[in-house]
Amino acid sequence: MLRPSHRAVLTHVALAILLHPCAALAEVSDKEPTAGLFWTVGLGTAMLCLFGTRIKPWLGAAIFVLAALWFISLFLEIHSSDVGPHLLREQGAIYYWQAYVAFGAVVGGFVTGYFWHKRISS
């Protein structure tokens, strides 16, 4: 006859075995950048591109190239065949949308800074 303490241990072990595949899904998201990091990098470099391009267009272009390289490596990573489907299942489509919109903010900062520079210098 099992004691109540043994029965509780066996119940916990059975639950752990049954829930183990669900716990394995969390293994992809914790190795990828968070959406907060997208926004930090995106908005920070958007402001740097905006004011850098307004002062000197080559300065804004240099900052934009660095940000674009970071986002390209991010996009290659989140769309890879081994990580992409699992990440989409865990984080949802909004994770991908946030990455693209954050990069759009960088592009917007660079373009706005360029037109601002052109307007002031003419």
Q: What's the pTM?
A: 0.75
What is the b/e burial string over 75-105, where b = at least 16 CB atoms within 10 angstroms of the residue's CB? eeebeeeeeeebbeeebeeebbebbeebbeb
Tracing tokens 């926004």 back to the chain, one arrives at 39
C-alpha 6 chain-centroid distance: 45
Of residues 83 and 9, more confidence is placed in 83
pLDDT in tens, 7-63: 777 776 666 666 665 544 457 888 899 999 999 999 999 999 999 999 999 999 999
Domain edges within the chain: 29-121
Please provide residue 33's backbone torsions phi and psi, each rounded to the nearest 5 degrees. Answer: -65, 150
Give the model's confidence band at 101: pLDDT under 50 very low, under 70 low, under 90 confident, else very high.
very high
